[in-house]
Amino acid sequence: MAKVLCVLYPDPVDGHPKTYARDSLPALTGYPGGQTLPTPSAIDFTPGELLGSVSGELGLRAYLEGLGHELVVLSDKDGTEFERHLVDAEIVISQPFWPAYLTAERLAAAPNLKLALTAGIGSDHVDLDAAITHGVTVAEVTFCNSISVAEHVVMSILALVRNYLPAHQIVRDGGWNIADAVARSYDLEGMEVGTIAAGRIGLAVLRRLAPFGVRLHYTDRHRLPASVEAELGLTFHESTQAMVPNLDVVTINAPLHPETQELFGDDLLATMRRGAYLINTARGLIVDRDAIVRALESGQLAGYAGDVWYPQPAPADHPWRTMPHHGMTPHISGSSLSAQARYAAGTREILESYFGKTPIRDEYLIVDGGHLAGVGAHSYSVTT
């Protein structure tokens, strides 16, 4: 019998939903580029339900208990309950937006741990060096919510550039202050827009922005094919530092690793065009928290939006909650009900492979066999 420890975000304030705004989800046949959707043998949930919170349990209880395994579901990601159960857990499942931080110390205190599974994409809440040292396999449901995040990026860009959030608040407050609403509103058309990294999310952002009549740029350690550059009219830059001075809008779509941590600090922000917009749906630690506040207060940045913070959940006094000209949300970009159906199904697929002793899909692997593997070898770097 395996102990599976699952750390999910709390249920809605008014309890788990009994009804939903829509009755079904659109049927998708695959991901862009040809990767197949998750293929578990079965699912024990209805797509479109809230699965990522405690009561949703990712739809896993019947499956796991039917095999004789123990499932423990918590929302206490940093407290004593998590650490108490971790010491004898064989599998830990968490989300990148409600992460159970698997530090080197916690991994050392979990001798039975064999699999750290991210229900979503992004596994930087796991110390990958320590996972390699302890022989822990790290996996995630690659591509399950990449398009969800890309849509959130486009929404955030438009919300900032068009000054949507303050204008909406004027209506909610009973006003009709048109001059106030448009005093910071611009057209996106004609702007220079670039992405830091052009993987699944970054490329999806570029494709969705192309019809807006913008000039598109990107930087990535892996250059895109010439055919894609020509199709979208992309300008490639060798580095972030070379690219951002040329842009009106910058969107960060890179994983967090030693090369990207606190990449956007005072020095890099000072090289950006005054009045540029910065969108970060990647990881909060890719930017310097206080440097972002200073850049907004000085006017160097016209706006900052995204939904990633550090730590998560963000404390009530986090300065990003009250800084000017922001469009922050809690980490929701990859957790739409549509995405939850995919990452719950993918989580079950990975578990079926693990318990069935069959290979986990290569595109799901981050660490395996004591080294970076699969998508992890393409996207991450470690010090070991």
Length of the chain: 384
The predicted structure's pLDDT at residue 285: 96
Contact 254, 218 (CB under 8 A): no
CA 204 from centroid of its chain's CA atoms? 14
The rounded distance, in Å, linking the Cα atoms of 266 and 3 is: 45
Nearest Cα residue to 73 out of 344, 313, 338: 344
| pLDDT on residue 313 | 86
As a dihedral over the C-alpha atoms of residue 59, residue 149, residue 308, residue 237, rounded to 10 degrees, the angle is: 140
Residue 171 identity (one-letter amino acid): V
Give the pair of three-digit tokens for residue 30.
Answer: 């695959």
> pLDDT at position 18, please?
95
pLDDT in tens, the chain (384 residues): 999 999 999 999 999 999 999 999 999 999 999 999 999 999 999 999 999 999 999 999 999 999 999 999 999 876 789 999 999 999 999 998 888 999 999 999 999 999 999 999 999 899 999 999 999 999 999 999 999 999 999 999 999 999 999 999 999 999 999 999 999 999 999 999 999 999 999 999 999 999 999 999 999 999 999 999 999 999 999 999 999 999 999 999 999 888 999 999 999 999 999 999 999 999 999 999 999 999 999 999 999 999 999 988 899 999 999 999 999 999 999 999 999 999 999 999 999 999 999 999 999 999 999 999 999 998 888 887
Distance between CA atoms of residues 349 and 183, nearest Å: 50
Active site residues: 145, 283, 312, 331
Q: For residue 355, which of 125, 71, 131 has the smallest C-alpha distance?
A: 71
Q: What's the CA gap between 142 and 215, in Å, rounded?
A: 29
CA distances from 77 to 9, 95, 157 (A): 9, 10, 31
What does the DSSP 8-state code read for residue 287? B
301-306/235-236 β-pairing: unpaired
CA distance 226 to 206: 15
The angle at the Cα of 307, spanning 56 to 299, to the nearest 5 degrees, equals 165
- 154, two tokens: 């486009």
Of 120, 99, 116, give the one whose Cα is nearest residue 200.
Answer: 120
Please count the CA atoms within 13 angstroms of the CA of 21 that sit on its side-chain side: 4
34 Ramachandran zone, left/alpha/beta (phi>0; psi -120 to 50): left
How high is the pLDDT of residue 381?
A: 85
For residue 76, the model assigns a pLDDT of 82
- β-strand 365-368 against 371-372: which pairing, if any? antiparallel
What kind and span of H or E run contains 70? strand 70-74
CA distance 119 to 350: 10
**In this predicted structure, what is the pLDDT of residue 374?**
95
The pTM assigned to this predicted structure is: 0.95
